[in-house]
């Protein structure tokens, strides 16, 4: 058994576990940790220069999306060998550059977080269809009652899912028994779950009463919901985005909502986070919002923190880690390990 390498240094640029117990666990194993800001207390974003300065001389980094590990950043951190990313998406990391430098990258696909996002999706759908935007305490206090507004039922509606990964499949499970028709567009899926019909994007947009976005960002789906796509939707349809801001042209969505080209939208993700409070999108009376909080549950964040810590320890110690997203990096990776 190799001698414990107590000089191994980790920079946690985003702390996600509200208990910090997962970091205490890593420290108990001899990892020297520099603890960055807590995501549940502050919102922080690192510039490239800032993350280079903070992560310099560290063997590993761990965090969510508060920093972008571009080719420049990775090349400026010659000691870096591991990136443990909280969350499924790794679009903030240049995977090709990491692999060339032998930097192993892992992500977390925490079941609780996946389920939380699926539940948030249903909450948005019901919030819009059941008119929760209008029937508020303020409306009632102003003397408002039912006239002038109507809610709607989901029964008989057609729900279109763009992207049919793990979160979308959890949405499908939750819609079972609701007497809805579910169709999906995903060019990478050939095995839809029971009750889902695969279709093309134009048909999905034209027919769906609810369009919900769950695709991972890729080179061919940036602004997949643009002015043309919004024009193709029913005027009675609603759009749900708990996926990525990358998927939606925000200006086109704002215009479509202001012109009542579609009935409504619910948005959890933004091009700039936190968004500008003066963004005209927030003035749209037919839109719901949440602050990138679809997966923001205490239990889910604890699980994600532990999964990220275990991923890192597995990579460091040479254990099998099924969540490495670039196994090809192993060919260029340093063999130095730490002892269990």
**Which amino acids are annotated catalytic?**
244, 273, 292
The four Cα atoms 60, 63, 67, 69 give a dihedral, to 10 degrees, of 40
Three-state SS string over 70-123 comes to: CHHHHHCCCCCCEEEECCCCCCCECHHHHHHCCCEEECCCCHHHHHHHHHHHHH
CA–CA distance, 84 with 105 (Å, rounded to integer): 6
Q: Rounded to the nearest 10 degrees, what angle do helices 111-129 and 298-317 cross at?
A: 150
Cα–Cα nearest to 253, from 268, 242, 264: 264
CA angle 6, 11, 13 (to 5 degrees): 160
Residue 153 backbone phi and psi in degrees, to 5: -100, 160
Which residues have CB under 8 Å from 318's CB, separation 6+? 337
Alpha-helical (H) ranges within the chain are: 21-28, 48-55, 71-75, 95-100, 111-129, 137-141, 166-175, 201-207, 227-232, 250-258, 298-317
Q: Return the closest-CA partner of residue 90 out of 63, 114, 117.
A: 63
Q: Tokens representing 276?
A: 């500008």
């Amino acid at each position: 058994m190799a001698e414990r390498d107590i000089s191994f240094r980790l920079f946690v640029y985003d702390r996600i576990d509200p208990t910090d117990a997962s970091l205490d666990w890593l420290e108990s194993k001899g990892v020297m940790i520099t603890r960055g800001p807590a995501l549940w207390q502050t919102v922080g974003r690192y510039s490239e220069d800032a993350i280079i300065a903070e992560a310099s001389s560290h063997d590993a980094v761990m965090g969510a999306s508060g920093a972008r590990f571009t080719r420049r950043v990775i090349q400026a951190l010659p000691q870096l060998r591991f990136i443990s990313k909280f969350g499924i998406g790794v679009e903030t990391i240049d995977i090709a550059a990491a692999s060339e430098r032998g930097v192993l990258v892992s992500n977390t696909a925490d079941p609780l977080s996946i389920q939380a996002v699926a539940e948030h999706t249903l909450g948005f759908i019901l919030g819009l269809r059941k008119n929760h935007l209008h029937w508020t305490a303020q409306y009632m206090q102003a003397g408002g009652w039912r006239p002038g507004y109507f809610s709607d039922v989901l029964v008989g509606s057609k729900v279109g899912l763009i992207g049919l990964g793990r979160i979308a499949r959890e949405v499908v499970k939750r819609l079972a028994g609701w007497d809805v028709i579910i169709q999906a567009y995903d060019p990478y899926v050939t095995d839809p779950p029971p009750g889902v019909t695969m279709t093309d994007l134009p048909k999905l947009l034209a027919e769906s009463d609810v369009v919900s976005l769950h695709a991972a960002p890729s080179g061919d789906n940036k602004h997949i919901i643009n002015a043309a796509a919004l024009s193709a939707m029913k005027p009675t349809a609603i759009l749900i985005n708990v996926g990525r801001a990358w998927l939606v042209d925000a200006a086109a969505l704002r215009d479509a909502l202001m012109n009542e080209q579609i009935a409504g939208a619910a948005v959890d993700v933004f091009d700039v986070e936190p968004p500008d409070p003066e963004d005209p999108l927030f003035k749209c009376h037919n839109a719901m919002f949440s602050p990138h909080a679809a997966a923001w549950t205490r239990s889910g964040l604890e699980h994600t923190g532990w999964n990220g810590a275990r991923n890192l320890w597995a990579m460091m110690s040479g254990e099998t880690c099924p969540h490495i997203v670039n196994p090809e990096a192993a060919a260029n990776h340093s063999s130095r390990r730490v002892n269990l």
